[in-house]
Amino acid sequence: MFDSLSDRLNDTFDRLRGKGKLTEADITSAMRDIRMALLEADVNFKVVKEFVAKTKERCMTAEVMESLSPAQNVVKIVLDELTEMLGSTESKLVFSNRIPNVIMLVGLQGSGKTTAAVKLAYLLKKQGRSPLLVACDVYRPAAADQLATLGGEIGVPVFRGDGAHPVDIAKGAIQEAVDHLRDVVIVDTAGRLQIDEQMMQEAVYIKKAVKPDQVLMVVDAMTGQDIVNVVSTFAERTDFDGVIISKLDGDARGGGALSVRQVTGKPIKFVSMGEKPDSLEPFYPDRMAKRILGMGDVVGIIEKAQEAADAEQLEAAERMLREGFTMNDMLDQMKAVKKMGGMKGILGMLPGGQRALNQMGGNLDEGIFDKNEAIIMSMTKEERLRPSIINGQRRARIAKGAGVTPTEVNSLMKQWGEMNKMMGRMRTMANQAQAGGKKGKKGKKGKKMRMPNIPGLDAMGLGGMGGLGTGGPKSDMDLLRQMEAQMRNKK
């Protein structure tokens, strides 16, 4: 996702950081590099021209904050303008008081409307709503079957209206929702490989018939420059309310998606970055801008972790603090990481993580989780609960049972040892807090406690990534904190 753009922009910022003072020539050169990076990422030419002009003007005239270096000021301005280009603020779905609410999806064939409809239904179901999917694509072979199959997988019913006209199907779905107490109707309309009058007119007729509360256009992130013509035409004919960008994980450029908000004035409401039903995410312009600039999305990681956590896991965390860290706990952690999108997904949201991943050629062996799971499952119940009893003879037996080498078993045991020590330190800190100790974040001899590495990084050859965010990306994260502090002081 935006890999090439992110790399090019960070290379430009790296060159600026090497200069103590920036001249007009330095800024002009940097803006030229940024323009080329955006164009190569498939961002619309007019959008690039406007973006670079505004950014350059601000860089030349903006008041330089004393707490920031000249290069950091440029990064901050680029971040602000990129956030503005993407939409500035989050745009949520707006629901009316009527029952059912109707959401209509439009877009070209192949843009991902059907899967987007299912993902949206899954998201709304998780939020406590009762969605109904409607198959209004009567032209594409097996389109209704596909929707019915996918809807069945997530437990959401599908209204098909076999043999009826799409407008009649949409009308019938409203009555079906009323009869079966469904509070949201998601209408999946037909598309074409190219824009044509019949498709547009049918979308207009359906919109007039069901009066949707929201019309969302589904756009394929890999469409490229032609995305501008497509969204402009749909905006003119159907006056949609927002955009869902699909397949954002499928193109390293993705710049066409950056043009949508600027060209149509319509907000990006959701982005889809995967095949699974839970891969549809609300779009946050500020977070996306930070990820493009290599600053990560730490808030997103926290939200994913909170979503993955449940009552049993919270109870397990309390037990770990009391009794220590077992191999069963490590197995649960690996499953939680998978649930959060895997190690690649997490690294992509860490400051500097995506760039580090790119430098490795994107090679991150997610299969290490399956291998470690096999090792743990080859242990006896007692060994999983008390890993400290595992000696050389037991390790050889476990390795043979899991089909791995003793070295790989030793690597997992080393990870367990580090996590167990960390739990011990946390237990000590918790006991001190309960006893009224006020050492704060200081450990022995006044030294600051170090953040532990993410479990599993060492085993994947990424042990050195505990320093993610250092250098360029870290300084950019620091500049945001410094700026916020400075603004508070001015107030």
Output the known binding site for GTP: 107-114, 188-192, 246-249
Give the integer Cα–Cα distance in Å for 125 and 118: 10
Output the 3-class SS for the chain. Answer: CCHHHHHHHHHHHHHHHCCCCCCHHHHHHHHHHHHHHHHHCCCCHHHHHHHHHHHHHHHHHCCCCCCCCHHHHHHHHHHHHHHHHHCCCCCCCCCCCCCCEEEEEECCCCCCHHHHHHHHHHHHHHCCCCEEEEECCCCCCCHHHHHHHHHHHHCCCEECCCCCCHHHHHHHHHHHHHHCCCCEEEEECCCCCCCCHHHHHHHHHHHHHHCCCEEEEEEEHHHHHHHHHHHHHHHHHHCCCEEEEECHHHCCCCHHHHHHHHHHCCCEEEEECCCCHHHEEECCHHHHHHHHCCCCCHHHHHHHHHHHCCHHHHHHHHHHHHHCCCHHHHHHHHHHHHHCCHHHHHHCCCCCHHHHHHHCCCCCCCHHHHHHHHHHHCCCHHHHHCHHHCCHHHHHHHHHHHCCCHHHHHHHHHHHHHHHHHHHHHHHHHHHHHCCCCCCCECHHHCECCCCCCCCCHHHCCHHHHHCCCCHHHHHHHHHHHHHHHHHHHC
Token digits for 451? 């953040």
3-state secondary structure 223-278: HHHHHHHHHHHHHHHHCCCEEEEECHHHCCCCHHHHHHHHHHCCCEEEEECCCCHH
Annotated binding site: 107-114, 188-192, 246-249
